[in-house]
Structures are given as C-alpha cells and as structure tokens.
Amino acid sequence: MTDTTLLQSARELDAGDAIAGYRGQFDLPPGVIYLDGNSLGALPLRTAAHLGEVVRKQWGEGLIRSWNTADWVNLPQRVGGKIAPLIGAQPHEVIACDSTSVNLFKLIAAALQMRPGRKVVLSEPGNFPTDLYMIAGLEAQGLAERRLAERARLVDALDDDVALLMLTHVHYKTGEMFDMAALTKAAHEAGALVLWDLSHSTGAVPVQLNAAGADFAVGCGYKYLNGGPGAPAFAYAAERHHDTMGQPLTGWFGHAAPFAFEDDYRPAPGMERMLAGTPPVLGLSALEQGVELVAEIGMDRLVEKSRGLSEFLRRAIAHFAPDLPCISPADPAQRGSQLSFRHENAYALSQALIARGIIGDFRDPDILRLGLAPAYIRYEDCYRAAEALGEILQTGEWERDEFMQRAAVT
Ligand SMILES: Cc1ncc(COP(=O)(O)O)c(C=O)c1O
Ligand SMILES: Nc1c(O)cccc1C(=O)C[C@H](N)C(=O)O
C-alpha cells in the first residue's frame, strides 16, 4: 500500500534535514524504528565509550581519588549547568540529582514552607501519577492539601489557600502543552508559587523558565536528554529563592561543608542544598554525555525538526489510518514531540507495531503514543510507521492473541 508521493516527500524532507547527521551518533539497532524516545531515549555512542572510560580509568585506576581528580564531587552542579540553557535557566539554577519523583517531593515541600498559612497544592486530574502521589505523601504528613482542577478551571481554582501550582508542561498522554508564562503569571497574581514538571519538554520543546518567571521545575534525564535507564533527574529553582528555600531531605551532600562532618545541619548555598546523598557518578557521567549531545545539536534545530516530524506523521497517519483519531493538539506549537491516538485496542496495536520493529507505546486505557525524538528520528521512519499502522488496522493483524497479553511494563 505504498504511497509513492508521500514516501518521496519524506525522503526529500530527510535530504533537507540540517541535523540528519546526528542520527549516526546514536547506537540504534538495525531494523528498528524507535518511536519511544519520549520514555527512554536512545544510547549515544559517545556515552558507551565514555562510561567505559569512567568505569575503568576513573573508578578502576583512580579509585577514591577520582572524587577530586575527575571532579566527581561537582557532577551534579556541572551536569545541571549544562541542562540550564536547554530550559532557559542560568547554570547555577539547575542541579542534576535524584529521580524526578524525589525532586518533586523536595520542591513541593520547599514551596509549602515558603508560603506559611497556605497548604493547597493545585494540580490537574490526570497529571503524571508520581506528581500526584508526591502531594499525597506530604498530605499524609499534614503538610499539604491536594486540590485538582480541570485545565480550563485551573485559574479559577487559584485562591489564597494555594501555596503551589504544580503542573506537567507537556502532558505525558496527550502531548498537550500548557502556556507556561500565562499560568505562572496567574499563580503569582494569586500569591502562589509554581513548579513545572519538564519531563516531556526538556530537549524537545522550547522552555524559557526565567522568562516565564517560574519558581521551580523538575525533569527527567532519561527521555529526550538520552541519559540512560534510571538516569538522574534535575531540579531548578529561580535564583531569587536560593537564600530562602529549604528542603526536607537534609542529607550531608546538601550541607554547607559536607567534609567538615559537623553534628548540625547547615544548608549549602544555592542549588547544592537540594542534594541529599552521594551523587550517582556513573548515572551522571552518562547523563552528561546525552546532555552535551543535545546542546551540540541545539534546541532551535531540535524544536524545528520535532515540529516537522510530528506534522509529517500526523499527515501520514491521517492518510493511511484516517479513522484513527489523533488526540494531540493540531497546532505543533501547542504540543510536545509526540502524537497520541485513541483506539479501544491500543495495547494490541502497539504490540503489533512492535512485532514489525516499530516501537511506540501504550498508555492505559486506550492510547497509542508515538514519540518523535528529533535528534535521531527520520521523516521516512514516520512514513514507515504510518504505513504499517494502516496495514495493521486494515488487515486486523492486531487481533492476534499474543498481542493482547499485557506485559508488566508498558
Ligand atoms: C511527567 C513525568 N514526571 C515524572 C516521571 C517519572 O519520574 P521518575 O523519574 O521519578 O520515575 C515521568 C515518567 O516516568 C513523567 O512522565
Ligand atoms: N520511567 C519509566 C520506567 O521506569 C519504565 C517504563 C516507562 C517509564 C517512563 O518514563 C514512562 C513515561 N514517563 C511516560 O510518559 O509514560
């Protein structure tokens, strides 16, 4: 069912793609079209080489001396500083550490402490679960009160009980993107602080935290930053909060003088106080490589390519699978680097695609999600995915029993 015009157009777009050459910097398995870089980014070749070096030379030979000689001790600040320009922040406003979940916990607690007399953390139903669960953890300690409001009602829900508005910038299921500047302004007008989860934004869409006046942010290292499975996450706090913010995980690496081994906690200046325990050196070393690669390609070019890819994929799926509704916003400037489609057997569809070497994913209950990591996806990949999806739907290929068995991780 090849459409030669569409295929030709994909090939022309690839030929004119200014960042096409960067695909060769990733270790992509042959025969696989990888549309899940929004969940786990691909492996940069430089990461495999660098990690070997870190393990053998820095760890194996340098041993404990490498905390100083290889500057392991400053990895969280150094990697954070490299993430900062990708999200419109200053280098000292970002630190790479812990998981996104743990960073959420620390920053929600920090915000609550900065708004005495207010306890409400406002978010939306259907936000990524860990974001909502982290409010629950603070609620159980009597420190927070969760309030959820639908997108259209968020601004109305901002009253003077709200300490913090906490939202995910690009929705993990639909790819819908919030207007960061407008919501930050509305929250500030109500006297609240704002925390943005940039897990599906960093390295994929334009983010200007400082220009938007944001207070806090967190994000994942293993998606578009290609930091590897379970990579450390990052935390951002606007400079104006650095002297006043606290955090509940008062571990020794967040101490002003960790190697003074004092009995009493004194917070380190700035973002370093967001650290808790010993930095995960291997994870941070891998993340640093992924971040450097993204920075080298450049956000402007990544954003332009991401929009081009998602527009092309939308067009191709509308052609090959016209009955499959796209639930992501039609305007590429209002969505992340993904397209989501609704089908009552979306899981089986995703499995049938995987059986053909096209890896997207499924989100409960009925969403087929196709991620478009602009650093390594080609327009022709989008064409092939759309064509395969059309065939799978037309032939009923997805109806096989083996495609219905749910795996533990989807
Ligand atoms: C919006 C969002 N926040 C947080 C996370 C994950 O947090 P963690 O890195 O702690 O697993 C994800 C994905 O797993 C996510 O999509
Ligand atoms: N963090 C993940 C994991 O440990 C296993 C499988 C998937 C993930 C994900 O990142 C999911 C992702 N945040 C999502 O948007 O669905």
For ligand 1, mutation pick of 98, 107, 128 (most atoms within 8 Å of CB): 128
Verify that 257 and 282 share a domain, yes or no: yes
Residues 232 and 96 in one domain: yes
Query: Do 394 and 334 lie in a common domain?
Result: yes
Ligand 2: which residue has its CA nearest to atom 10? 39
Instruction: Name the CA radius of gyration of the chain, rounded.
Output: 22
Predicted confidence band at 1 (pLDDT cuts at 50, 70, 90)?
A: confident
Question: The domain containing residue 128 runs over which residues?
Answer: 71-297
Return the pLDDT at 393.
97
Pair (291, 316) in one structural domain: no
Q: Report whether pLDDT(149) > 90.
A: yes
Residues 78 and 198 in one domain: yes
Closest atom of ligand 2 to 361 CA is 16
d(CA 32, CA 123): 37
Same domain, yes or no: 246 and 318: no
CATH code at 267?
Answer: 3.40.640.10
**pLDDT bracket for residue 333 (50, 70, 90):** very high
Residues 222 and 309 in one domain: no
Whether 329 is covered by a domain: the verdict is yes
Ligand 2 within 6 A of CB of 39: yes
366-388: per-residue pLDDT in tens?
Answer: 999 999 999 999 999 999 999 99
Query: Each residue of 343-358: pLDDT tens digit?
Result: 999 999 999 999 999 9
Asked whether residue 114 falls in the same domain as residue 210, the answer is yes
Does residue 52 fall inside a structural domain?
no
| Residue range 228-282, pLDDT digits in tens | 999 999 999 999 999 999 999 999 999 999 999 999 999 999 999 999 999 999 9
Of 256, 274, 297, the domain-final residue: 297
Q: Is the predicted pLDDT of residue 293 greater than 90, yes or no?
A: yes
Among candidate residues 279, 297, 315, the one where a domain is terminated: 297
pLDDT score for 48: 97
Using the mean position of ligand 1's atoms as its centre, give its distance from the Cα of residue 221 in Å. Answer: 10
- Write out pLDDT tens, residues 79-100: 999 999 999 999 999 999 999 9
The whole-number pLDDT of residue 303 equals 98
Instruction: Name the β-bridge partners of 123.
Output: 148
What's the gap in Å between 348 CA and the centre of ligand 1?
Answer: 24
The tens digit of pLDDT for each residue in 150-199 reads: 999 999 999 999 999 999 999 999 999 999 999 999 999 999 999 999 99
Across all residues in the chain, what is the average pLDDT?
98
Residue 256 sits in the same domain as residue 312: no
Question: Does residue 409 have its Cβ closer than 6 Å to ligand 2?
Answer: yes
- Token readout for 341 is 């489609």
Active site residues: 128, 197, 222-223, 369
Residue 362 within any structural domain of the chain: yes
Q: Ligand 1 centre and the CA of 100: distance in Å? A: 6
Q: Are residues 249 and 127 in the same domain?
A: yes
Last residue of a domain, one of 297, 318, 353: 297
What residue's CA is closest to ligand 2, atom 1? 39
- The whole-number pLDDT of residue 386 equals 98
pLDDT band, residue 72 (cuts 50/70/90): very high
The answer to whether 410 is a known ligand-binding residue is no
Residue 343: the pLDDT is 97
The total domain count for the chain is 2
pLDDT confidence tier of residue 19, bands split at 50, 70 and 90? very high
- Do 251 and 271 lie in a common domain? yes
